[in-house]
Chain A
Amino acid sequence: MKMCKSILLIVLVLILAAPVSAATVPVISPQASQYLSFYGAEIEEVSSAEFKVTFTVQGTGTMDKLGVSSITVYRSMDGSNWSIWFTDTTSSGMTITNRSTYRASIYYDGDPGVYYQAKVGFFAEQDGNADSSYVFTNIIQLG
């Protein structure tokens, strides 16, 4: 009986250990990409009433069009209950043409004390074909 318990304990430990390692990888969107090489985004406080979303994206070469297709901003009063505040698809500076790499910041007004996070959708387009992906940024609270 004790042997059975030991085996069960080891199995339980193995089951528990696996997601601990996996959970550290913030994978958002799967699959290899024909046109996207890497990307990342972060949200930063500019002032107590303004923040910026900065993104970087690189294609697998010089792309016809490169950048972000959307920035969805989430906000929360308490840091745990979130709601979509708005989705930005039209700000200038979200895309660029004939570049391999693009980095830019988009600025937004916010409210002091409120938490913000963004979901940034990337894309790379070449010869009429495109790949897309997205990441969630870090979370900030405006001061």
Chain B
Amino acid sequence: MNNNKRSLRYPFLEKLSTEDLEDIIRADLEGPDLDYTLVSEASHILSMRRCNGDGESETDAAWDRFQKLYNTSDGRDKSLYDISDELAELEDEFDMPEKTQKPKKQNWRRIAAAAVAVLVLALTVVPPTVGAVSIFTIIGQWTDEIFSFGSNHSTSQPTLNNTQEAATYSHEGLEQFAAAVKGAGINIEVVPKWLPEEYKFVNIESYVETDEAILTAIFEANGKQLLISISNPAKFYLYEKDESSVEEYRVNGVTHFFMKNMDRNQVVWRVGEVECCINGSLNIEEMQKVIDSIYLGEISK
């Protein structure tokens, strides 16, 4: 142990008690800085005493003092520091329940109330930048940048194409597209029967496999294209949109979602397992008319 002994600039420190040494260090910490060497040597002596176990005798002495002076018979069951008054004040200030009360039921009531509130708010309150449709049947979700259907399940009632009447289409391309859609096994009314006259049919792009299909009809007017896409089954697509609001347009029991993607308008909807999208430079009124034309003869808004 003496190997750690070093020559001290303040040898008197060795004669001080541990408490006095601690006072020096505390004074340096709490008040103006003391001489660095003084504090350093005081700290060193303290650590040496602890290493040598010198502190144990002091601890024993302190324990003896405590037993003699404080652990007396009239102090049984009493706190060394009586803070009952302060505790009572704190309880009053924070409205704490009496010890005799049984707060469990009250807590459960609060938790239940909070759970109900969370549920109601989660279903009804929607953040400003996020949209959702229908409390119990969410079928469309959007932010400022993206629109998407939340799941692969739609609750819209599909209108089966069981009528034997030949539909009338404003464009031959629409008729071709309706035939291609039907040929891909999609027997639901999803193809518009009307487009503005200036639009000319360009072509149909199709990816048809045994269990899925995506077909796109392209029309063009004034150098700008209009695309009608039908996907079966519906996929988890993300639709680009800008920050403008999404408008819902309900026709024939189907909710159609109107949105803008820069200078183009876009309408997206799901019916049954089929997901559809029309995007182009049509204005909103024209888009609505295009949507209405899908259900011509059976519109019920």
Q: Give me the interface of A with B, judged by CB distance under 8 Å.
A: 1-2, 9-10, 12-14, 16-18, 20-22, 24-34, 36-40, 42, 56, 58, 60-62, 99-101, 103, 133, 135
Residues of chain A within 8 A (CB-CB) of B138 are 24
Q: Does B148 contact A (CB under 8 A)?
A: yes
In the complex, the answer to whether A37 meets B227 with C-beta atoms within 8 Å is yes
Residues of chain B within 8 A (CB-CB) of A30 are 144-146
Bound Cα distance A13, B243 (Å): 27
Residues of chain B within 8 A (CB-CB) of A37 are 227, 239-240, 261, 266, 277, 279
| Contact A1:B227 (CB < 8 A) given known A13-B121, A34-B262 | no
Output the least CB separation between B236 and chain A (Å).
5
Residues of chain A within 8 A (CB-CB) of B253 are none
In the complex, the answer to whether B237 meets A13 with C-beta atoms within 8 Å is no
In the complex, the answer to whether A38 meets B130 with C-beta atoms within 8 Å is no
Nearest residue, chain B, Cβ from A55: B235
Count contacts on B: residues with CB < 8 A to the other chain.
50
Listed residue (A22, A37, A39) with the most chain B CB atoms within 10 angstroms of its CB: A37
Bound Cα distance A38, B202 (Å): 20
Output the least CB separation between A105 and chain B (Å).
10
| Contact A60:B118 (CB < 8 A) given known A37-B279, A39-B238 | no
In the complex, the answer to whether B239 meets A25 with C-beta atoms within 8 Å is no
Residues of chain A within 8 A (CB-CB) of B231 are 56
Q: Does B200 contact A (CB under 8 A)?
A: no
5 nearest CB pairs, A to B: A61-B225, A32-B242, A17-B121, A40-B237, A33-B240
Q: Does B205 contact A (CB under 8 A)?
A: yes
| Contact A22:B125 (CB < 8 A) given known A38-B240, A38-B277 | no
Bound Cα distance A56, B214 (Å): 9
Residues of chain B within 8 A (CB-CB) of A56 are 214, 231, 235, 237
Main secondary structure on chain A at its contact with chain B? mixed
Residues of chain A within 8 A (CB-CB) of B225 are 60-62, 100
Within 219-262 of B, Cβ neighbours of A (below 8 Å) are at 224-225, 227, 229, 231, 235-243, 260-262
Nearest residue, chain B, Cβ from A137: B236
Bound Cα distance A140, B285 (Å): 44
Known: A2-B95, A10-B117, A24-B132. 16 other contacts (CB 8 A): A12-B114, A21-B122, A21-B132, A22-B127, A25-B141, A26-B148, A29-B145, A31-B145, A38-B237, A38-B239, A39-B237, A40-B237, A58-B216, A60-B227, A100-B225, A103-B207
Q: Does B269 contact A (CB under 8 A)?
A: no
In the complex, the answer to whether B145 meets A32 with C-beta atoms within 8 Å is yes
Bound Cα distance A12, B129 (Å): 20
Bound Cα distance A73, B275 (Å): 28
> What per-residue 1/0 map shows which CB atoms of B196-215 lie under 8 Å from chain A?
00000010010100000010
| Contact A21:B239 (CB < 8 A) given known A27-B143, A60-B261, A101-B216 | no
Residues of chain B within 8 A (CB-CB) of A9 are 110, 114, 117
Nearest residue, chain A, Cβ from B217: A100
Residues of chain B within 8 A (CB-CB) of A18 are 125, 127
In the complex, the answer to whether A1 meets B95 with C-beta atoms within 8 Å is yes
Bound Cα distance A20, B261 (Å): 26
Output the least CB separation between B237 and chain A (Å).
4
Listed residue (B132, B142, B240, B243) with the most chain A CB atoms within 10 angstroms of its CB: B240
Residues of chain A within 8 A (CB-CB) of B299 are none
Bound Cα distance A62, B225 (Å): 8
Q: Write 27 A-B pairs (CB below 8 A) sorted by A numbering.
A: A13-B114, A13-B121, A17-B121, A20-B122, A22-B130, A24-B132, A25-B150, A27-B143, A27-B145, A29-B145, A31-B145, A32-B240, A34-B262, A37-B227, A37-B240, A38-B237, A38-B239, A56-B235, A58-B216, A58-B227, A60-B227, A60-B261, A61-B224, A101-B205, A101-B227, A103-B214, A135-B238
Output the least CB separation between B76 and chain A (Å).
37
